[in-house]
Structure 1
């Protein structure tokens, strides 16, 4: 997929090092339970590629059109945990900190939403994060995703008592999508 400033594509081995750097950056990972080791980061890349093979979609590596530089990912996932809203397809993103505040996550996510609804014929997408992750919540709102506090949930993969266990959930139905 291509947007005005981004190419969203499958992962390359050359993406692994900058992705690992992102995943070990305390600012980028502020709203995640822990920083990731190189091995954990590489496992996420492998998981993304496996997801593409199994489902025909997944997290796409994001690169800048102008420079070809890897800046993170934007894509679709099927969560592996059980919750009131699963099974579902989640849209998510993670960009290197130096690319925040430029609208790149929103630009990439718009292309992914359009792909999800018009090419994959999905009926609904969800997105979730910790309540304090205002940057990601703002992207969700720019996409037209709806938030209902009744959908807030405790993430089952995060231990009880952990400050990041509580999550907010946003939803977007195909009939509500306005590109």
Structure 2
């Protein structure tokens, strides 16, 4: 568990599944993903995230707001498992319910997640990626001190050639002794 001024990043609970499924049905939250997610897909993703945490002892933690103990999204680290130049790297990623956008929650959670990755897990570098049109996400990557790594950009293998969401841009943050 990681605690920040306003948030708790923690393992997922069963009561997180309904608000997570609601996020997956929200076209604003899912604007840079190929489709909205139904409840079965959302639950399957949450189970994959929970299993990742169980295996690796880190992952995309549930993001809970301290003020009301409400699940508002997720943020954390995960191993990239699909074929891409960043395969087997550790990625920082996030997703936040729309009503909490613009309040600095993801920046707070991502900053703490990066610190955990570098200080606790001793990772040499952490990557992040998104589609070029997702200016909110890559803007956050820049505000977190991540550097654009064009040589690692890729076409997402889960999407067909020509799909508008297939191209992905990559950002990297490395420790002083790590490489980019």
TM-score band w.r.t. shorter chain: over 0.9
Tell me, which stretches of 5 or more residues in structure 1 are unaligned? none
Q: Distance in 2 between matches of 1:176 and 1:123?
A: 7
Q: TM-score, normalised by structure 1?
A: 0.95
Tell me the residue number matched to 2:61.
60
1:174 paired with 2:175, answer yes
Note the 1:158-169 alignment, pairs <5 A. 158-169=159-170
1:33 paired with 2:34, answer yes
Using a 3 Å threshold, how does the CA distance of structure 1 residues 68 and 130 change in structure 2: closer, same or farther? same
CA contact (8 A) 2:85 2:153 kept: no
Report how far residue 86 of structure 1 moved: 2.0
Q: Distance in 2 between matches of 1:141 and 1:154?
A: 21
SS of structure 2 residue aligned to 1:106 = helix
Note the 1:69-108 alignment, pairs <5 A. 69-108=70-109
How many pairs are equivalent?
A: 177
Tell me the residue number matched to 2:49.
48
Tell me the residue number matched to 1:114.
115
State the Cα RMSD in Å. Answer: 1.3
SS of structure 2 residue aligned to 1:175 = coil
Report how far residue 160 of structure 1 moved: 1.1
Report how far residue 148 of structure 1 moved: 3.1
Q: TM-score, normalised by structure 2?
A: 0.95
CA contact (8 A) 2:124 2:177 kept: no
Q: Distance in 2 between matches of 1:89 and 1:145?
A: 14
